[in-house]
Each structure stands twice: as C-alpha cells, then as structure tokens.
C-alpha cells in the first residue's frame, strides 16, 4: 500500500472538509435520527470546504486503510448519496484503491449550484484618493466608514497598499441579492463568507476595483479592458471634482462601449454649494462626450433608470460612505439593473483570457479571469496558449472556484479561478487564453485595426511603438498607417499593428486601447493578417 493514492491521507483535523468512514448501511444510517446527524455532519464538511466535502470510505478514524468488499462499498456509497440529496448536494467523483480487506474509495461531494444566478460585473474607476475602494468596501459590508478610509482595507491586500492607502493592483469585491433582499459580507477577506454568499444569492454584483494613481494606468486599463464588464462605475470626489484622470478613465469606459454610472462621493466633507458645483462639472463632462446625465434623488428615479438605462443615459448619484447617504439608491440600482443577455455567448465554445496565474498549496497551478464565452466543467480537457511558438498546450481542469466557492461548472461572465494540470506555471503568461479545442484559436502576430487618436503631441508614423491592450493582453506593438502617411490627435484611420515580442489569440471585432504613458487612442480589430 505504500505506493497507493490514499497511503498518505490528510488527517480529518488538518482539512476540515475531510471525513473518514469505515462503512455505512441503509438499516442503521438512514434511520431518521441517525440520517439527520450524518446529513448535518456532511453540511458542516461542505461549509468548511467552501462547497466541497471529501469522504474516504473503508478507512478508520485514524486514517488506516481497511477496505470494504464490493457489496458493502456500493451500499456505503448509496447511503452517502442519500445523505447528500437530503441537503441539496451530490456525489461528483469516486476513485478507488485496493486495501488489505477490499476496496477503499475517495468520494467527492459538492453542493448543488443555482445555475440561474445573475451576475453583474462592475468596473470601478476614478482618480486616486477619490474614494473608490472605500465606497466598494462600504457597499459590500454594509459598515459605514469612519472618515479615515477604514472600510477600504478589505480591498487592499499588499502591505504597502494598506500603509499608503493607495491601491496598486486590481481587487475584487462581491455582494448580492436574494429575492431582492440585500446580502452583504461582514469580512470580505473571509473566504468562507464569500463562498456562502455566492451559494445563497440569486443575483451577484462583483466589483473590479481599479487603480486611480496615474503611474499605474496600465493596471487600470487591464481592469476595464481585461474583464467582461457589464457596466462602469466612475467615482468623483466632491472635494476635488473631475480631474484629468477622471476624464481619462471615462474615456476608457466609453471606448469599451460600457454603460456608466457616476457617483459623486465624499459629500459629507464639503458644503452644499460645492456639491452643486461638482455636479454641474460632472454633467458638463458627460454632455461633452455625448452622454445624458440623470441625477438620481429617489427610488422612483432609480427604478426609471434601471428600466431605461443604456450607453447614453448616465445615472449620477451623490453618496457618502460615512453618512450612508446615497448607498440605498445604489443598492436599488444594482438589485434591479438588467443583466446583459449572454444567451448567444453561452452557447459558444468556452474561452477565457488569463488575467492572473498563481500556485495554491494542495491545489496546484491556478489561472483566473472572466469567462468570455461558453461554459467550463470540472474534469474537462482544454487547450492553453499560445506559447512563443504559436502552439497551444493541452491541459485538464481539476477544480473551479468563484469567490472561493467550489463549482462543478462556470458560465460566461463569471470571474473564476481554474486549477489545471498538464502545463508548468512558468509557461503561462497573462494574455494567453484557455479554451475548448473547438474554439479554434489562432495565434496572431499582425492585424489591422480601425483607430481613433485621442492625445498625441506629434504624429504617428510607420515604426511608431506603444503598448496595446486587448482583453488581458498588454504588449508592445509596432504601427504602420495604411491609408495615409501619418495620424495625429483627432484623426481616425486604419493601422496595421504587429505584436513585437509574442503572438496572441485575438479575433476580429475586439476592442483595443493603445498608450504611451497616457492613453493615446482606441480602436477595433478589423482583420487578422498573420
């Protein structure tokens, strides 16, 4: 047995979602009182495992492999399945191994999922210190801020972020609704709380909190361009009003053709006169870019907007995470905001752009991102790439998690982490895709795009280089104008673009943003050339 899969079992106390059972039988363990006890025990294991429990059958309480003859093992598995159905769970995997007195089985039990959960993915943008993370922290926890940014700490995960009060990377936060009732998390850093929230809500709102500091514009663009966002949320501090960063972030949201909501925050820190000045500045800015601002004062306003909102109509809400003003209106909007139809994308082959890569002890290599199309299931065979040669590597899906909730499958629009085997972690790069084989990805070095130049001090000629963002791709590209010799600020035209160092999987119709320092322009991929 020294070479067996189960020869080194994790003790029950070390992983609280693990349970050892010598055997179970219908006559004893399905009697009402004993059945309830065992079902409660399974529910506890599922909660500790964020929706997954692992049973080892034919094993004593100390983890010794005893084994069961086939008839007894089959009955034990049957009893386990009956217990699972009692608490809306099911057996999803069974593996066996020989033991001294028969067979030992590892049985994985998962909660049944609510596949009808609606999911809003909101990209949060705005100038540094305008209160983005504080607003999101207050919305997701329901705890008002002290006036010192205390609620933002839940979104800052690095030591220097907490010390400086400045976000340096994209962070995710979530809250939700169940039959219209708001559901929040006391501590968003608690993985189990997040998992329970995902399980119980029929509508989730995930916030992609981006970076407001100008040197990290690349990270902000990644947060807006690299996720399959349904809406943008632009935060403007009443004490400062719209800034050049506000305008730049708004431009990125509009370039992605997203509906946008504007929140004027920190209204507790300034006079009513100042709030009115900033409101007018926000209205003027929105009108300048062809949008219709609509001040939300009542729930009636919120309900009107959620029924009629589009890319042109922009709700503007005055709010304070300190006093709580405006937060119920935001809840109302998010609870009733229509989810963009994803029926067409859900029927396509699975594909996700990789945003983050990391290794988890006991899980292995994990890639995370937002599912662009289709559905992915645990145990499926996928391909990942392209690598430098342009090839795609076959990989296997081990587990799928969304906000630390273990899932058997995930759908278009979900933000997930997928643990995979078949590839070394150093072979994976941000901007690669993971997909079904029949997605038929193509590794591309060169493509054409229709672009608009926003800001550029000189002219863009053949040989010009800058960073281009497509989905989670951020790569140096070389430009060559097609129909004219050069392009300058305010011009539109066709450009041939070439990834300088690495091929990527892209398709016609995808939006792009290119920048050199500040964002310079945006466009759409029109043709793949090589």
Count how many Cα atoms sit within 13 Å of the Cα of residue 227 in the half-sphere of its side chain: 32
| CB-based contacts of 187, cutoff 8 Å, min separation 6 | 141, 154, 193
The confidence score (pLDDT) of residue 219 equals 66
How do strand 181-183 and strand 171-178 relate by DSSP bridges? antiparallel
Are 441 and 386 spatial neighbours (Cβ–Cβ below 8 Å)? yes
**Fold matches, 343-439 and 443-528:** yes
Residues contacting 394, CB < 8 A, separation 6+: 381, 382, 383, 422
CATH code: domain 443-528 is: 2.40.30.10
Could you read off the pLDDT of 254-306 as tens digits, one per residue? 888 899 999 999 999 999 999 999 999 999 999 999 999 999 999 999 999 99
* Beta-carbon contacts of residue 276 (< 8 Å; ≥ 6 apart): none
In terms of CATH architecture, what is 118-336? 3-Layer(aba) Sandwich (3.40)
Q: Can you say whether residue 67 is alpha, beta or left, with left for phi > 0 and alpha for psi between -120 and 50 degrees?
A: left
Query: What's the confidence (pLDDT) of residue 518?
Result: 62
Q: pLDDT value at position 2?
A: 37
pLDDT (tens digit, 0 to 9) for every residue of the chain, 530 residues total? 334 566 556 555 556 889 999 999 988 898 878 898 999 999 889 888 878 899 999 998 888 889 999 999 999 999 999 999 888 888 988 999 988 889 999 999 988 765 556 888 898 999 988 999 899 999 999 989 887 666 655 554 433 333 333 333 456 788 999 888 999 988 877 777 887 788 788 899 989 877 644 444 556 677 677 778 889 999 999 999 999 889 988 988 888 889 999 999 999 999 999 999 999 999 999 999 999 999 999 999 999 999 888 889 999 999 999 999 999 999 999 999 987 777 788 889 999 999 999 898 878 899 999 999 999 998 999 999 999 999 999 999 999 998 878 888 899 988 899 999 999 999 999 999 999 999 999 999 999 999 998 876 677 889 999 999 999 999 999 999 998 888 888 889 999 999 999 999 999 999 999 987 665 789 999 999 98
Residue 55 near residue 17 (C-beta atoms within 8 A): no
Domain 343-439 has CATH 2.40.30.10: yes
CA angle 310, 314, 320 (to 5 degrees): 135
Q: What are phi and psi of 186, to 5 degrees?
A: -65, -45
β-strand partners of 419: 366, 399
The residue extents of the domains of the chain are 18-111, 118-336, 343-439, 443-528
Q: How many CA atoms lie within 13 A of 69 on its CB side?
A: 1
pLDDT, one tens digit per residue, over 498-524 is 999 999 999 999 999 998 766 578 999
Q: Which fold has domain 18-111?
A: Translation Initiation Factor IF3 (3.30.110)
pLDDT at 314: 96
């Amino acid at each position: 047995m020294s070479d067996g899969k189960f020869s080194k079992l994790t003790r029950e106390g070390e992983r609280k979602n693990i349970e050892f059972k010598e055997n179970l039988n219908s006559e004893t363990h399905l009697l009402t009182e004993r059945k309830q006890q065992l079902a409660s025990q399974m529910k506890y294991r599922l909660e500790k495992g964020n929706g997954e429990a692992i049973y080892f059958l034919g094993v004593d309480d100390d983890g010794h492999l005893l084994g069961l003859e086939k008839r007894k093992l089959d009955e034990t598995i049957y009893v386990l399945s009956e217990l699972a159905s009692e608490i809306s769970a099911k057996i999803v995997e069974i593996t066996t191994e020989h033991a001294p007195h028969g067979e030992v089985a590892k049985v994985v039990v998962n909660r049944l999922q609510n596949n009808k959960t609606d999911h809003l993915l909101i990209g949060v943008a705005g100038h540094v210190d305008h209160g983005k993370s504080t607003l999101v922290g207050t919305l997701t926890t329901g705890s008002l801020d002290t006036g010192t940014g205390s609620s933002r700490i839940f979104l800052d995960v690095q030591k220097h972020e907490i010390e400086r009060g400045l976000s340096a990377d994209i962070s995710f936060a979530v809250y939700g609704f169940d039959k219209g009732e708001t559901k929040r998390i006391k501590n968003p850093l608690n993985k189990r709380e997040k998992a329970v929230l995902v399980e119980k809500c029929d509508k989730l709102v995930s916030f992609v909190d981006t970076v407001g500091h100008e040197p990290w514009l690349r990270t902000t663009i990644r947060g807006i361009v690299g996720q399959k966002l349904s809406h943008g949320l632009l935060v403007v501090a009443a004490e400062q009003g719209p800034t050049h960063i506000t305008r730049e972030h708004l431009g990125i949201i509009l370039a992605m053709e997203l509906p946008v909501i504007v929140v004027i925050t920190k209204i507790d820190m300034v006079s009513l006169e100042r709030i009115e000045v900033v409101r007018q500045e926000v209205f003027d800015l929105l009108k300048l870019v062809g949008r219709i601002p609509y001040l939300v004062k009542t729930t009636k306003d919120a309900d009107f907007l959620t029924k009629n909102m589009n890319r042109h109509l922009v709700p503007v809400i005055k709010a304070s995470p300190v006093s709580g003003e405006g937060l119920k209106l935001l809840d109302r909007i998010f609870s009733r905001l229509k989810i963009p139809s994803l029926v067409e994308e859900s029927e396509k082959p699975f594909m996700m752009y990789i945003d983050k890569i990391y290794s988890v002890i006991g899980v292995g290599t994990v890639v995370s991102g937002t599912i662009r199309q289709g559905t992915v299931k645990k145990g499926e065979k996928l391909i990942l790439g392209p690598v430098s040669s342009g090839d795609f590597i076959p990989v296997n899906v081990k587990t799928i998690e969304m906000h630390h909730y273990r899932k058997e499958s995930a759908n278009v629009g979900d933000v997930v982490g997928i643990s995979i085997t078949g590839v070394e972690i150093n072979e994976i790069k941000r901007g690669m895709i993971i997909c079904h084989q029949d997605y038929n990805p193509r590794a591309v070095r060169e493509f054409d795009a229709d672009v608009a130049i926003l800001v550029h001090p000189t002219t863009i000629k053949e040989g010009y280089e800058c960073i281009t963002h497509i989905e989670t791709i951020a790569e140096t590209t070389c430009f060559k104008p097609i129909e004219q010799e050069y392009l300058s600020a305010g011009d539109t035209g066709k450009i041939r673009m070439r990834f300088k160092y690495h091929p990527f999987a892209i398709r016609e119709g995808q939006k792009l943003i290119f920048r050199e320092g500040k964002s310079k322009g945006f466009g759409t991929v029109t043709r793949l050339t090589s």
